[in-house]
């Protein structure tokens, strides 16, 4: 049976914040799979995939339980905010496990973590490139006591690139999957889509991943596809600009680059180039900022090692 539920967080805003979610309880025992999307409110392909996955789901094919939150960052969705929660400008995916006595985003993270992440058997947090971001599809998991299971989730999701983040050099701290890993919940972040576009092929890639992953852990009937040969990466470089400027990449997402290869330039408003951005080592471009306007310390490009 598919039930529509709402998480009400009374302390957020004057009337409290409501986060709608689905709960599907199967007729047979099985694990709990939790799906989150819209932690970044303008990554529409991820939101669309969770909506469609649940609406197309046959509850009789479910063993165990699926909990699915199509839009976690509800205020960010309505405000069309890239990356952040509007009330305090913080990135929810840098704020887990949250703080019940913190700012708006930290309180939101706390309730989402307590309600949806703690106690589940598996977590998939769906993302895409945000409004100013181009992206090559990839999955990400964390070094942890359950990382073999997390890697298996990433493999079954089937996106062409898989990123393993070591605990010592977490490029992304406070993410949903890092917080989950820290309490022993196998988790991945799955990225497909870019630039705020409701791209059909990117949604379908998410949907195929969700169905195959659900089958591989036995929460959904049906045989998973044979394991695919995917490109696995051990860590990455997030390249930034010191000064604000006009960022102009010369590579595209998915490109394999050599050590020292030019990735793009940053120039001032007159057009004078003040920085050439080069690959620190051999790598693959998994995302890049597609908007030329970058602020001081702004993120330019994510280069996966290898
Ligand atoms: Zn995101």
Q: Which residue ranges form the domains of the chain, and what is each CATH number?
A: 2-232 (3.40.630.10), 235-305 (2.40.50.100)
Residue 249 has pLDDT above 90, yes or no: yes
How far apart are alpha carbons 194 and 2 in whole angstroms? 30
CA distances 251 to 113, 134, 237, 254, 273, Å, are 37, 11, 15, 9, 17
Q: Give which of 52, 73, 41, 69 is closest to 196, Cα–Cα.
A: 41
> Ligand 1 centroid to 76 CA: how many Å?
12
Q: What is the pLDDT of residue 228?
A: 86
Quick one: average pLDDT of 256-261?
98
Banded model confidence at residue 109, pLDDT cuts 50, 70, 90:
very high
Banded model confidence at residue 200, pLDDT cuts 50, 70, 90:
very high
Query: Considering the entire predicted model, what is its pTM?
Result: 0.97
> Ligand 1 centroid to 198 CA: how many Å?
15
Quick one: average pLDDT of 58-82?
98
Quick one: average pLDDT of 226-235?
93
Quick one: average pLDDT of 289-294?
98
> Ligand 1 centroid to 131 CA: how many Å?
10
> Ligand 1 centroid to 27 CA: how many Å?
33
> Ligand 1 centroid to 133 CA: how many Å?
10
> Ligand 1 centroid to 83 CA: how many Å?
7
3-state SS string for the chain: CEEEEEEEECCCCCCCEEEEEEEEECCEEEEEEEEEECCCCCCHHHHHHHHHHHHCCCHHHEEEEEEEECCCCHHHHHHCCCCCECCCCECHHHCCCCCCCCCHHHHHHHHHHHHHHCCCCEEEEEECCCCCEEECCEEEEECCCCHHHHHHHHHHHCCCEEEEECCCCCCCCCCHHHHHHHCCCCEEEEECCCCCCCCHHHHHHHHHHHHHHHHHCCCECCCCCCCCCCEEEECEEEEECCCCEEEEECCCCCCEECCCCEEEEEECCCCCEEEEEECCCCEEEEEEECCCEECCCCEEEEEEEC
Banded model confidence at residue 58, pLDDT cuts 50, 70, 90:
very high
> Ligand 1 centroid to 126 CA: how many Å?
8
Residue 167 has pLDDT above 90, yes or no: no
> Ligand 1 centroid to 153 CA: how many Å?
18
Q: What is the pLDDT of residue 173?
A: 80
Quick one: average pLDDT of 273-300?
98
How far apart are alpha carbons 199 and 194 in whole angstroms? 8
The pLDDT tens digits of the residues spanning 130-159 come to 999 999 999 999 999 999 999 999 999 999
Strands 161-165 and 138-142, bridge-based pairing: parallel
Q: What is the pLDDT of residue 84?
A: 97
> Ligand 1 centroid to 182 CA: how many Å?
20
Q: What is the pLDDT of residue 74?
A: 98
Banded model confidence at residue 168, pLDDT cuts 50, 70, 90:
confident
How far apart are alpha carbons 161 and 233 in whole angstroms? 7
> Ligand 1 centroid to 270 CA: how many Å?
32
> Ligand 1 centroid to 225 CA: how many Å?
27
Q: What is the pLDDT of residue 227?
A: 85
How far apart are alpha carbons 208 and 212 in whole angstroms? 6
Banded model confidence at residue 185, pLDDT cuts 50, 70, 90:
very high
Out of 83-92, 99-108, 170-179, 187-196, pick the least confident: 170-179
> Ligand 1 centroid to 272 CA: how many Å?
32
> Ligand 1 centroid to 271 CA: how many Å?
31
> Ligand 1 centroid to 85 CA: how many Å?
12
> Ligand 1 centroid to 28 CA: how many Å?
33
> Ligand 1 centroid to 129 CA: how many Å?
6
Q: What is the pLDDT of residue 272?
A: 98
**Average pLDDT value over all residues in the chain:** 97
Q: What is the pLDDT of residue 47?
A: 98
Share of the chain above pLDDT 90, in %: 96
> Ligand 1 centroid to 44 CA: how many Å?
10
């Amino acid at each position: 049976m598919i039930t529509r539920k709402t998480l009400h967080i009374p302390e957020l805003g004057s009337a409290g914040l409501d986060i709608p979610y689905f709960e599907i309880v199967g007729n047979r025992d099985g694990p709990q799979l939790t799906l989150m999307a819209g932690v970044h409110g303008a990554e529409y392909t991820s939101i669309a995939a969770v909506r469609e996955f649940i609406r197309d789901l046959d509850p009789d094919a479910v063993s165990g339980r699926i909990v699915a939150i199509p839009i976690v960052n509800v205020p960010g969705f309505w405000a069309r905010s890239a990356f952040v929660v509007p009330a305090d400008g913080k990135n929810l995916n840098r704020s887990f496990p949250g703080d019940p006595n913190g700012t708006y985003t930290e309180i939101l993270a706390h309730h989402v973590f307590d309600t949806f992440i703690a106690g589940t058997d598996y977590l998939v947090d769906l993302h895409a490139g945000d409004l100013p971001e181009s992206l090559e599809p990839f999955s990400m998991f964390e070094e942890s006591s359950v990382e073999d299971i997390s890697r298996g989730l990433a493999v079954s999701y089937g996106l062409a690139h898989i990123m393993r983040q070591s605990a010592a050099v977490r490029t992304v701290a406070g993410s949903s999957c890092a917080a989950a890993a820290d309490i022993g919940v196998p988790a991945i972040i799955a990225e497909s889509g870019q630039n705020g576009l409701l791209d059909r092929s990117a949604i379908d890639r998410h949907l195929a991943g969700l169905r195959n992953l659900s089958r591989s852990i036995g929460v959904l009937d049906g045989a998973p596809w044979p394991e695919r040969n995917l490109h696995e990466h051990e860590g990455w470089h997030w390249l930034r600009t010191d000064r604000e400027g006009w960022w102009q990449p010369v590579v595209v997402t998915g490109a394999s680059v050599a050590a020292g290869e030019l990735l793009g330039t940053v120039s001032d408003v007159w057009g004078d180039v003040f920085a050439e951005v080069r690959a620190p080592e051999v790598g693959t471009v998994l995302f890049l900022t597609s908007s030329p306007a970058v602020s001081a310390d702004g993120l330019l490009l994510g280069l996966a090692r290898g």
